[in-house]
Amino acid sequence: MHDLKIVGSPGSAFGNAVVKTGGSSTIEFSGDTIRVYQKRLFGLETVEALVPIEEVESVETGRGCTWWLVWLGVVTLAILIGVVFIILGFVIRQRFLVIHTSSIPLVIFPTGSEDPKAFAQGIMQANREARG
């Protein structure tokens, strides 16, 4: 049926901004279930989540600024190197994928050559088929 996989870094959603968190993440879709594997805190914390495809409400893909560089720039603005960090934060763009479910948003920043848009389209197509 549908077998999709995307690998990258996990993230969190804060309002309209998505922020990369440390660790590694894999989102797999097979059959009627989305499986999420995350390793955080240098591998000390492992999380696995199973989400039925019917729970998906929407999928979002995009490119955004590197927020940790922007905030580092704000903190170091007094020594003028902060300006460089702020500029880099807006120039260096990151791809992201957010799967909005009825319970939690699943955020990943793909690191490989996987196409987040193709993954998102596959998820939404399977969602439409599951709902009839």
**Residue 2: band (very low, low, confident or very high) from pLDDT cuts 50, 70, 90:** low
6: β partners? 27
**Taking residues 101-122, what's their average pLDDT?**
87
Residue 77 corresponds to which tokens in the numbers above?
């603005």
b/e map 21-56, b = 16+ CB within 10 Å: eebebbbebeeeebebebbeeeeeeeeeeebebebb
Smallest CA-to-CA distance from 29 within 9, 59, 64 is with 59
pLDDT digits (tens, 9 = 90+) for 54-71: 999 999 998 888 888 888
Report, in angstroms and rounded to the nearest whole number, the Rg of the chain calculated over CA atoms: 16
Q: Which domains does the chain have, with CATH numbers?
A: 3-131 (2.30.29.30)
Residue 36 corresponds to which tokens in the numbers above?
């999420």
Question: Which pLDDT score is estimated for 103?
Answer: 85
Interaxial angle between packed helices 81-91 and 67-75, expressed in degrees from 0 to 180 and rounded to the nearest 10: 170
**Residue 21: band (very low, low, confident or very high) from pLDDT cuts 50, 70, 90:** confident
* pLDDT reading at 84 higher than 60: yes
